Amino acid sequence: MQRQKTKIPQHKYAINASMLGDDTALPWTNLGLWHTPHVTYPEACQNLAISLAEALALKSDDAVLDLGCGWGASLNLWQEQYAVRQISAVELQTGCLSYLKTQDCLNTVKFYQGSFLNLKALSLNLKHDVILCIDALYHHSLPQFLNSISVNAHKKTRLGFHYLTVTAQWEKLSFVQRKKYQYLLALADIQINALYSQTQLCQVLKNAGWHHTNIKILTEPVFGGFSSYIQHREHENHAIYGIDGLKIKLTAKLCHQLFKAGIVGYVQVVSHRLP
């Protein structure tokens, strides 16, 4: 099964789940939420998803739209732990979706191939109670995303996603220091000048018709936790090699630098449409 999956082309944000420590049929591929240093990679990834689901008050009768579903671990979680019966999933990678469609446990999920920045082109034809995007949105424009999902939201839809915010510490940096972090983040395809403070983030959501926004700061257990985990795996001589390994190591290094510098926060965002 793993050999079959390695043949599937990956987009530039995809990471090697097996190299990170998840060899299951439906592996996780996010930074994880590391409440303690003694959890496995799949457990940490599931923690991140559960934290968002709990904040959204996810229920079994919700119609859920999962954007950027990856290898389907979150879809399986919604079904098994929350007994969600109506799930739509959007994923950019065609090979990934082909694989997911062969999984019997996901045979009730409606899959759509394409970008979550252009949902209007996918003809989902359904308004959803919950729209969520786990650890994938911060590479993209938030206003563009909010415009995209508007066609699939009704008057009481709950929205949840992870994003990055700039802190007050960013304003204190010198010109040279700012250029350094702009360059490092650009390598990860993140434009720091396009990020917002928490106040600005709430305003962007409000302008798009989303209210009662709750922002939870997860910088230490996400950035700090992921970087510590990768460092620990290297010390234990787990194989992290090749292009995939380099991507993982650079991601961990960037997480460590951002956490220590305190200039960028990793946040969980939940917002609501008003009836």
Total-model pTM: 0.93
Residue recorded with tokens 């946040």: 267
Cα(21)–Cα(42) distance, integer angstroms: 7
* Mean pLDDT in residue range 200-216: 98
Cα(149)–Cα(131) distance, integer angstroms: 8
- Given this model, what pLDDT does residue 125 score? 82
Residue recorded with tokens 């099964």: 1
- Given this model, what pLDDT does residue 185 score? 94
- Given this model, what pLDDT does residue 237 score? 67
* Mean pLDDT in residue range 139-166: 97
- Given this model, what pLDDT does residue 10 score? 58
Structure confidence by residue, pLDDT tens digits, 64-100: 999 999 999 999 999 999 999 999 999 999 989 999 9
Cα(133)–Cα(84) distance, integer angstroms: 16
- Given this model, what pLDDT does residue 135 score? 97
DSSP secondary structure code for residue 138 in this structure: G
Report percent pLDDT > 90 for the chain.
80
Task: Indicate if the pLDDT at residue 210 is higher than 90.
Answer: yes
Contacts of 40-47 with C-beta under 8 Å, sequence gap 24+, read 41/229, 42/73, 44/225, 44/226, 44/229, 45/73, 46/73, 46/77
- Given this model, what pLDDT does residue 8 score? 42
Task: Indicate if the pLDDT at residue 12 is higher than 80.
Answer: no
- Given this model, what pLDDT does residue 9 score? 40
- Given this model, what pLDDT does residue 2 score? 36
- In the CATH hierarchy, which fold is given to the domain comprising 2-272? Rossmann fold (3.40.50)
Domain regions of the chain by residue span: 2-272
